[in-house]
Structure 1
Amino acid sequence: MLGAFFDDSGTHAGSPVMTIGGVLGTEAQWDVFAAAWAALLEEPLPGKRPLKQFHLSPCRAGRDEFENYTLAERDHLTYLFRRVILDTGLVTVAAAVDNAAWDELVTGDAAEELGHPLEFLLYQCLNSVSDIVRWRKPGEKTWVFFDEGIRDRVEMFAYAYLQNNKDRPEIASVGFAPVSKVIALQAGDMIATETSQFGQQWLLDRENPVTNPHFESFRWRDISAGLIFDRDAIAEMVERVKAGPPSV
């Protein structure tokens, strides 16, 4: 049995990019991950108090549990938690949309067909997990968990996905849990946040996006899967909806 854990980023009003990102691994990998991540939470850096959770955005900003950390300390701590994901060999999966383009273009029948961008991203991530498992671990089943914070917005859609996508048996179940209590979701938070910030830069300059150095290790791995739906991609989807199903 495999496990995949996803968090979201950029779901607040005015965010330029909305993202769902997460990590996928085997039971053995999750056992190794849990021990290493928990050890870092207990002793993040010499002389620092144990952390309740690792949350990338507050760490970057020096807020909450990280307010007494210097910039260098926060950067090193991010490196240490990032290495846990990489050293464990977890697959990373993410999908992002241009929020402004979605709000402008996805209206009327297209909105009925494509749904809320959060539902769309969940759909893309579940499909990516299914494709990866089918390719790398054929025949395996995957339990997928999302952050409890989006449950009220996507729960019905997630269960409809399970009912209507019988051709994707790799997805055995979809559930929800709080990031603060499930450390695997904290890894999902890192991937979602990094992807959201990269997506913003990519929309500004596709040829030479300003990339956070921590994201580079994820971006170029052969076991990382990421999708960004920009204005052109969204417009193409809307046109397909308007055109209707192909005539036979």
Structure 2
Amino acid sequence: MLEAYFDDSGTHNGSRVVVWGGLVGHAQSFAHLDAEWQRLLACPDPQLKPLKAFHLYSCVHRTGEFEGYTQGASDLVRSRFRTAIIESGVAAVACGVDIREWDHQVTGHLRELVGGAERCAFGLCVKLSVEMAGSENEQLNAHFDRAREGYVLNVIEGARLLYPDANHLFGTSFCPVNAYTGLQAADTVAYESYAFLRDMLSSEKSDPGPHLRHLIASAESTTIMLMGRDEIANLVEKMQSAVGEYRQ
């Protein structure tokens, strides 16, 4: 059985892009990650206080438990937790959707069928993860933030009605982020990907920056995809064609 942990980023009002991201791997890989993560929480650095949990947004912006960090300390701790992900051997996956383009192109009946940009990002992220499990003929046991339970269950139940043959491949559980290091690591992947895709859409910068570049170059497997203008247009064309054939 493969384990997976997922989290979201960019779901706040006014966001340009929404991302779902996470990690997929065997239980022993996550056990390795948990042990190292707990060690880093207890001592992120000899000069720094222990942490209750690692949240990348707070680390980057030096808020909450990270208040008082210098920029150097923030970058150092960020790097150490990211290295824990890389050395555990789990695979990272993230899918983002350009909200502005989605809202512009996916309207009317199609919008009623497929929902908003977040639903697309979530569906693509889970689909890629299930495909990883399918390639190894294993079930995927997926863990989510308890705060998103209602949303996740609603989307998954709809998918199970459409793909009943895949039901046996996918199990779910909902956990508090602060108590599960796998979810904190998923938050790291989601936010790193969100920050890159946000900047890429706003300034057309294609360089992921040193932090995400390190993850992409060093992790066992990293997949980051964006549904932008062209990708959404292609999807809309396919959906319109499928709806037209169904009505005939």
Q: Return the TM-score normalized by structure 2.
A: 0.91
- Match of 2:206? 209
Please identify, of 120-129 and 161-170, the stretch whose mean Cα deviation from structure 2 is larger. Answer: 161-170
Distance 1:17 1:188 in 2: 17
Count the aligned residue pairs.
245
Partner of residue 6, structure 1 = 6
Q: State yes or no: 1:218 paired with 2:239.
A: no
CA contact (8 A) 2:60 2:74 kept: yes
Q: The residue matched to 1:173 in structure 2 has which SS?
A: strand
**How many angstroms apart in 2 are the aligned matches of 1:170 and 1:115?**
25
Contact 2:25–2:90 under 8 Å retained in 1: yes
Report the secondary structure of 1:35's partner residue.
helix
Q: Any conservation in 2 of the 1:201–1:210 contact (CA below 8 Å)?
A: no
Q: 1:86 to 1:21 in 2, by over 3 A?
A: same
Q: Give the 3 Å change call, closer, same or farther, for CA 222–25 of structure 1 in structure 2.
A: closer
User: What amino acid does structure 1 have at the position aligned with 2:128?
Assistant: S
Aligned to 1:180, what secondary structure does the other structure show? helix
- Structure showing the higher helix proportion among its residues: 2
Q: C-alpha distance in 1, partners of 2:228/2:209?
A: 20
Gaps of 5+ in 1: none
Q: Which runs of 5+ in 2 are unaligned?
A: none
Identity of aligned residues (%): 31
Match runs of 1:119-138 below 5 Å: 119-135=119-135, 138=136
**Superposition pairs of residues 232-247 of structure 1, within 5 angstroms:** 232-243=230-241, 244-246=243-245
Displacement of 1:120? 1.7
1:21–1:189: 8 Å Cα contact kept in structure 2?
yes
Matches within 5 A, 1:19-168: 19-135=19-135, 138-168=136-166
Q: Give the Cα separation in 1 of the matches to 2:40 and 2:71.
A: 18
Deviation for aligned residue 1:241? 2.6
Paired amino acid for 2:158: A
Which residue identity lines up with residue 130 of structure 2 in the other structure? S
Counterpart position of 1:193: 191
- Please give the per-residue CA displacement for 1:89-139, whole angstroms capped at 9, x wherever unaligned: 11001100001111222211111122122222221112101211223xx22
Distance of 1:36 and 1:78 partners within structure 2: 14
Q: Deviation at 1:245?
A: 4.8
Shift of 1:163: 4.2
Q: Distance in 2 between matches of 1:17 and 1:172?
A: 27
Counterparts in 2 of 1:232 and 1:240: CA distance versus 1, 3 Å: same
Q: Name the amino acid aligned to 2:229.
A: R
Q: Quick check: 1:23–1:92 contact (8 Å CA) kept in 2?
A: yes
- Distance in 2, matches of 1:48 and 1:111, equals 48
2:174 corresponds in structure 1 to 176
TM-fit CA distance, 1:205: 5.7
Cα distance change on mapping 1:195 and 1:165 into 2, 3 Å? same
TM-score, structure 1 normalization:
0.91
